[in-house]
Structure 1
Amino acid sequence: MSPGNSSRALAFLLTGIPGMARFHRWVFLPCCLMYLITMLGNSTILLIVRVNRRLHQPMYYFLSMLAITDLGLTLSTLPTVLRVFWFGSGEISFPVCLTQMFCIHAFSFMESSVLLAMAFDRYVAICCPLRYSSILTSARIAKIGLGMVCRSLTLLPLICLLTQLQFCSSRVLSHSFCLHQDVMNLACANTTPSVVYGLTAILLVMGLDAILICLSYILILKAVLRLASWKERLKVFSTCVAHICVVLAFYVPLIGLSVVHRFGKDLAPLVHIIMGNIYILVPAVLNPIIYGVRTKQIQRIQISIKISDDRTAH
C-alpha cells in the first residue's frame, strides 16, 4: 500500500484537556462565549463598514479584511472544538483534518498580510498625507486583497507533502483542531521536506511581514518626532495605537505557539493546548474590541444606530 493511500484511510483523534475530561463541558462554556463574541464583533464591523459610506476608506477596507480573516479562522475551528468539548467526539478523518489545517494556516497567513497592509496604510497616512488618496486607490486595495489570497495558496504544497507520509500507530493529536506541526509529529517517515517547506513559508510570509511592519513604524516614529509639539506627536501616533495592539495580539501568541511546538516537547500537554487555543481565539476576540474602542468613527456610527433604534422604539 502506498503512503498516500494509507494516509487517506486514516482517522485522527482530537483531544480536549488531558486528564480533565469531566470538566470539558465547563470549558465549552467560555469557549462558546468567546466564539460568539468573535462572530458578533467581526460581523458588526463588516455591517457598519458596509452600510455607511463615510467608512468607505482604505483603513476600513483593511479592517473589513481583518474581520473576514478572523471569521474564517473561527469558522474553521468552531465545529471540531465545540464537538470535542461538548459531545466528547474527537475523531476526524485525514482529508477533513488536512482541510481544516490548510484553512487555519491560510487564514493566519492572510491575517499577517492584512496587518502589513494596515501598517502601510498608517505609514502613507502619516508620512505621505498629501498622496494618500492617490496611492491607496480602490483598484490598488483590490490588488492587495488578491495578493493576500495568493500568498495563502503557497501552503498547498505543504498539504501535498503531508499526504505522502506514513503515520505511526499513535493517532492522538494534542489539540482540539488540526495544526501542521501537531500532525507531522505523528509521522513515521522522514518529515524533513515538510519541516523545511513549512519553516521557509512562515519566514518568507510572516517573518517578512513582521520585519516590514517594524520598518514602517520606525519610519512613522521618525516622521512623528519631526513634529513641533508633544501634543501633535501624541495625536498623530494615537492613530496607530489600535493597530499596534492588534499586531501584538497576533504575533505574540504565534511566536509562543511556535516556540512551544518546536522546543517545548518536555512541557506538559496542557501548555501546548493552552497556547494553541490562545493562538486561535485571542486575536479574533480582541481585534473587534480594540478597533471598536479605539476607532472614533465606528463609535459614532454605533451611537447613531442606537439613538435611531431608541427613537423607532418610542
Structure 2
Amino acid sequence: MVQRFAFTTAAMAAALEETPVTYEELADIEREFDDVETEIIRQQVQLTRPLYEKRHKTVSQIPNFWPLVIEQAPPDIDEYIQPSDSALLLSSLTSLSVSHFEIENGGTGDPRSVAIRWEFSENDYFEDRVIEKKFWYRRSKDGWAGLVSEPVDIKWKKGKDLTGGLLSMVKAVWDEEQAMEKSGTKDKSAHLIEKQRTLRKKIENTGLGGVSFFAWFGFRGKRVSAEESRLAIEKENGKRQLRQNGVDTTQAEQDDEEDEDEEEEDDDLEIFPEGDSLAVTITEDLWPGAIKYFTQAQEQDALSDDDFESDEDIDEEEPKARSPEERPTKKRKA
C-alpha cells in the first residue's frame, strides 16, 4: 500500500524555472507509478486470497495463535499497546483478519481500502465479539490522497472502558456531525459545539502517550467524502488526458487552486492521529507476517526454557504453543 505524496506546485515551479520540464510532467509520472503499484496490489490480493484462507483454516486449530502474534508485534504496533491493552489482547483475542473490501466479489474499487476485523472471546472489558474498522482510500480536491475512516464504538462493561470515555465521545460527535450534513445544515448547533469542546478538552488532558490502543477505533482522518474523491479522480484523469494530448493545463491548475475553499478541519478532535499509519502497518506487516511472528514467539519461549533446563533433563519434544498467561510478560516501551 505505497502512498505517494504530491509536490507543492509553487516550490516545484521555482525549482524547474530554468528547465524545459514542467511540474505537471513530473506529477504525471508519479501518478503513473501510483497506478502501477495500485494494480500490483489488486493482483496480489487476488493471488494470495486462497493462501490466506488456507492459513486461516490451519491457524484456527492452534490455541492462542493470534495473542502470540500480537505479543511479537513490530515496534510500529507495539508502541501503541498499553499494559492494560496487552492484558486484554493476550487473553481474549481469538482471530484477526484483513480484507480489501472494495474489490471483493468482483468489486472494482480501490484495493488500498481495507477492513481490519478483530474477534474476541468472552472477557471482562466489553460485550462485543467482533469489532471491525474500515479504511477507505480517497483523494481530496486539493490533491491529498490517503486513508480515511469512521469512528467505531465499543460496548464497554461498566468501569472497564480502557479509553476513559474518549471512544464514545468521538463517536457521539461524529454521529451528530453526520446528521448535520445529511440535513443540509451549515451552522453547528450549540449542542454539537459543546460536545466538540468537551472532547477537545478530554484529548488535551489525556495526552497522546497515555491513549489506549483501542482509541484507534475512533480514528477519523481527513474529511473526504466518497463523492469528493470520485470527482477529484475524474478531474485529475481528465487533466492528464489533456496533457497527453499536448494541451497546456497550467492555467486550469492555477484556477483550481484559487477556487479551493478553506474548509475547517477539526484535527484537534482526532483521538488517534497515527491511526492510518497503524492500519497500514497491520495490513502490510502483521497480517502477512503472522506465521513469522508466531514462530518468533515459539523460539523465544524455547530460549526461555533453556535457561532453566539442565543438561541431564532436556526435553526433546517439540515446543508447544503455551497460553499467554504461561509466558513471560513482554517488555514494552515506556
Name the structure with the higher strand share: 2
- From the CA coordinates, give the structure whose radius of gyration is larger: 2
TM-score (structure 1 length as normaliser): 0.32
